[in-house]
Structures are given as structure tokens and as C-alpha cells.
Structure 1
Amino acid sequence: MSKLLECNRCLFYAHNPQLVCAVHPTGPSGNTCLDFRDDPELETKQFVDFLGIGETDDNPYNDNNQQWEPEGARYVNGELTIERTFYNGELIVQPQERWTQQQKLELLDWHPMFTGRCPQCNGLFDRDWSARVHWDCECGWMDDTI
């Protein structure tokens, strides 16, 4: 959906997050809308920035600023990463990750918990995994990873 700034003042504006307007449900296709009509009811209304998040430099949601980061987080390669977590004003220390993202993905490819087969002899494991704690095979392969 692409909504223009003028859409909020338009007579056809739907005021609905899933629908832009009655004429262009997904929004106008260009930078302008030929069907725009000023809503006469809005001309007499005064809009007040009651939340205090108008177009100012200290507005974290303003697109003119760089990406806003909550306390304890920062952007790494375009992704918001939580570095510190607080509860009731106290810092919660996060445990060190044991596996990297790449190692976790590789584990999905070969571990019998996910494949149902021994990585050494390709033998099938019993499918009743609810009670299984150890993934040791008859061929001698032993699970020492998890």
C-alpha cells in the first residue's frame, strides 16, 4: 500500500489500516492523485499534536532522522540487535550464544534430531523422539553436540 501525505485530508480517505480509500484501495499508483478532493469537514477542525511526536528533530519516528534505537539496542547491518535488556530498571545479563547463526543452520542439515538419520552410517532412528535424550547410533556415532 502506498499512501500519499494528502490522503489524510481527502474526502475519499478510508481511515482504515487495510484500505487507503474508496477510489484507490491500495493507494494511488503515482506521486499525485487525480481523484483527490479536500474533505470539507476537515477544514474547520484544528489538529493538535497531542502526543508531542510531530515533525520535530527529537521525534524518534520521524523519517528525517537516522534509525531510532531503543535503549540497549543498536542497528547492526540494518537489523535491530538487542544488546542489553532491562527489567524494572535493572540490567538483565544475557547468556553468551553457544552457536553462531551459521552453525545453527548447519545443525539442521545433519543432526538426527532434524533428519531422523545417523550422520555417519545413514541409519534410521526410532521415530518416538518425545522420550529421546541421547542420539547415539549402533555404528558408534555418539551425539556430543547438544
Structure 2
Amino acid sequence: MTEPSVRRKLPECDRCLFYAHDPHLVCTNHPSGVSSDACLGFQCDPMAEPEVLWEPERASYYNGELIMTPEQRWSCLGKLAILDLHPMFTGRCPQCEAGIACEKAGVHWDCGHCGWKDDSV
């Protein structure tokens, strides 16, 4: 027996004339959804209003699935400080301003002049 192909609801399904407005069926043409990124049977319903998906803080929808944003280790200000000071972006030591060459394929940024060590990794 063959495995059924993955089927899903498309973002435009809720604006289609054939949309079922049922949690178990997508539409009358494709009850379990379509297997591609487009539906050949789509007909825009001029009276339909798109469904608004509720989106909690620190989450977003990707391909119709709610994805939680992982906790970030750095604050927004911390990220900006890294862009302004880190040798990966400036090419200079944040303490003595000496030029720093990257060692070990972009992982270690340590200053040989003043002894500053990158502890961000």
C-alpha cells in the first residue's frame, strides 16, 4: 500500500468559493487539502473575508503552522553592542584597537597585543 501524499490548507483557501469552513475538511474539491503550493480549482469568493490567525507574542505562522520563537541569549541592545564592538565586524580589538586576524575558521577572535579573549562562543 502506498503512503498518502502530504496535503494541507493553503493561505488563500479561506477566500475560495469551495472552502468548507469545517475543521475536518478543507474544501469540496480537495477535502484533505492540496499536495502542491497552488490549487488549480481556486475561485475567489468576493464575499469572503480572510480568517485572521491569532498570533501570540514571540510566535509567528510559517506555512500555516504556528512556530514559537526560541528564547534569545542576547538582548536587542546586546546584539547592537556586538555589531559595534566585536572583531568579527570591526577587525579590531575592542580594548586596544589593534587589528585582529581570525583564527580557526572564524571561531576564535583573541588579541595577541593586549590579551583580550573572545568569550562569546
Higher strand content, 1 or 2:
1
Q: Which structure is higher in RCO with an 8 Å CA cutoff and minimum separation 6?
A: 2
Q: What TM-score, normalized to structure 2?
A: 0.47
Q: What TM-score, normalized to structure 1?
A: 0.41
